[in-house]
Amino acid sequence: MSPTFILMRKEIRDGLRNRWVLAVALLLAMLALSLGFLGSAPTGSVKVDPLTVTVVSLSSLSIFLVPLIAMLLSYDAIVGEIDRGTMNLLLSYPISRRQVMAGKFLGHLIILALAIGAGYGLAGLALQLAFGGLDFTAWGPFALLIAASVLLGAAFLAMGYLISALVQERPTAAGIAIGVWLFLVVIYDMALLGILVVDQGRVITAPLLNTILLFNPTDVYRLLNLTGHENIAMFAGMAGLSGQASLSLGWLLLAQVLWIAVPLALAARAFGRRSL
């Protein structure tokens, strides 16, 4: 059996034993249900499926919550093992550093995917049952939300691994991880909004804005969810942006995958060169 697969199974077992999956799934389900029931009150009169309205609220919530959960899972994945002295023991077995990185990352990604899929999926089923029964034709945007949330979490997992591979102490890794989360989730868009207000479209045109948005995985996530479907764009107030956006779904998915692959490759390179 591959050492990567063995280490991945260990991380999944540890996550299940520590109740990570259960706790995160319950948290996401409760928040999704709360937003769903609060936001779906007018759907009966306008004949809109509750999942359509819920996707708008959950997209905004997930931008804050999923990256934070991913950072908490990954910020000490490497430096924590080194501090505890278990990394030297692990590397004494016939396993390479790249296999260690791949096994731990895949394990954490599966934990995160299980939590997001279970939390949002159960909430979506409960919402449809509470508002008139199952309608699988309305699950397209909601399924995209779940998949995009997993990709967003994977991007921040990769950044957490990069931080963990570069720093020397766990407190430093925690501080940098929170700083990166705060910058990408809050500060980046606030600064961009301020620049757009001052610029008034003179320099930053629509194509340039689309390019700038690609430099933030949370903005790619927002575009994937809120402009990928006509009804979602309308209820999110982003129909105009959807019409101006020149980025296809394929380009957005490619950008999000690069946000996973590039930090993870850099993390593997940094870990490979690190002295223990």
Q: What is the pLDDT of residues 42-74, one digit of tens each?
A: 444 445 566 666 777 788 888 899 999 999 999
Exposure string over 16-52, b if 16+ CB within 10 A, otherwise e:
eeeebbeebbeebbebbbebbbebbeebeeeebbbbb
| pLDDT score for 39 | 57
Each residue's pLDDT tens digit, 213-267:
899 999 899 888 766 555 544 444 444 444 445 677 888 899 999 999 999 999 9
Torsion of CA 135, 229, 149, 31, to 10 degrees: -60
CB 114: neighbour CB atoms within 10 A? 19
Q: What is the mean pLDDT of residues 95-113?
A: 93
Query: At a CB cut-off of 8 Å and minimum separation 6, what does 76 contact?
Result: 83, 164, 170, 173, 174
Range of the domain at 125: 3-273
CB 150: neighbour CB atoms within 10 A? 21
Work out the percent of the chain whose per-residue pLDDT is above 90: 41
Instruction: Name the pTM for this structure.
Output: 0.88
Report CA-CA distances (Å) from 14 to 21, 38, 187, 261. Answer: 10, 35, 34, 25
Phi/psi of residue 170, nearest 5 degrees:
-65, -45
Residue 14 one-letter amino acid = D
Q: Please enumerate, as own/partner, the contacts of 93-98 that have beta carbons within 8 Å and a separation of 24 or more.
A: 93/3, 94/3, 95/3, 95/7, 96/3, 97/268, 97/271, 97/272, 98/268, 98/272
27, two tokens: 């948290």
Residue with tokens 């994977």: 154
Q: Would you say how long the chain is, in residues?
A: 276
Phi/psi of residue 205, nearest 5 degrees:
-85, 175
pLDDT at position 273 over 60? yes
| pLDDT score for 45 | 44
Reported as type and span, the H/E element at residue 215 is none
Q: How far apart are CA 217 and CA 58, in angstroms?
A: 16
Total structural domains within the chain: 1
Q: What is the mean pLDDT of residues 131-140?
A: 69
Residue 163 one-letter amino acid = I
Contact (Cβ atoms closer than 8 angstroms) between residue 102 and residue 13: no
| pLDDT score for 9 | 93
